Amino acid sequence: MLDFVFTVDDPVAWHSKNLKKNWNHYSFLKVLGPKIITTVQNNYGAGVYYNPLIMCDGRLIKYGVISTSILIEDLLNWNNLYIAGRLQKPVKIVAMNENVALRSALDKNLKSAVTTAFLMLPESFSEEDLFIEIAGLSYSDKSPEGQFTQLMTLPKTLQQQINHVMDPPGKNRDVEETLLQVAHDPDCGEVVRQGLSAIVRPSSMKQSTKGIFTAEVLLLWSWLLFCLLH
């Protein structure tokens, strides 16, 4: 899945235009309008609003929207290391306006990552060790941001089962909203385990039933063949 992040100066205006063009990309929050979507984006989680599991030119993508000011704050101060952490890894900047503050913050984020990695490495280390340490900065100590990133990479069916486990009847929350909640849950591992059980248990029962059925059919054919021969 390709992962895009759009940095926008005015999220309300951006969502307003995108709702008109791509209404079906959004969860149930779309009925509440662009202002509520922006409030959720800015005040919950890592300051980014994601539309996941979107088909674009035959390719599955997800895209997040973050305000420029919140991104700059995270790049400079590591408020949550969510998007800043992703930008410490190999990414491709598709297009960018001439925003001096943003460019400076992007550079500062990379320098901070290298400095932090140096402080945690032993006196002697390889180039690979340095890159591994940098890549792991935003995944340390089972942080909610790290767990959310890991949850978002899970197979689609497992994500849906986790959503089913956590989503009260009638609420119909978006999968990503549920995964964000799970990432902050101390029992995150248990929720994932329940999601796995929801996949494995029915398939095992169906397979066992099919095995019994096919065995009975085989016995029936054997009996019929025996009768014909005798």
Most confident range, picked from 73-82, 134-143, 169-178, 192-201? 73-82
DSSP letters for 142-187: G-HHHHHHHHHTS-HHHHHHHHHHHS-TTT---HHHHHHHHHT-TT
Task: Kindly give the pairing relationship between strand 59-67 and strand 2-8.
Answer: parallel
Whether residue 162 is contained in a domain is answered as yes
Whether residue 205 is contained in a domain is answered as no
- Is the pLDDT reported for residue 33 higher than 60? yes
pLDDT tens digit sequence for 65-121 = 999 999 999 999 988 788 888 899 889 999 888 899 999 999 999 999 999 888 888
- Of 229 and 176, the one with more pLDDT: 176
The count of structural domains within the chain is 2
Quote the distance between the C-alpha of residue 7 and its chain's center. Answer: 18
Whether residue 212 is contained in a domain is answered as no
pLDDT tens digit sequence for 179-230 = 888 888 888 888 888 888 888 765 444 444 434 444 454 555 565 666 666 5
Whether residue 223 is contained in a domain is answered as no
pLDDT score of 140:
63
Output DSSP code: residue 64.
E
Whether residues 6 and 102 fall in one domain: yes
pLDDT score of 184:
84
Q: What is the mean pLDDT of the chain?
A: 83
Range of the domain at 153: 110-199
Instruction: Among 106, 135, 151, give the residue marking a domain's end.
Output: 106
What lies within 8 Å, CB to CB, of 70 at 6+ separation is 42, 47
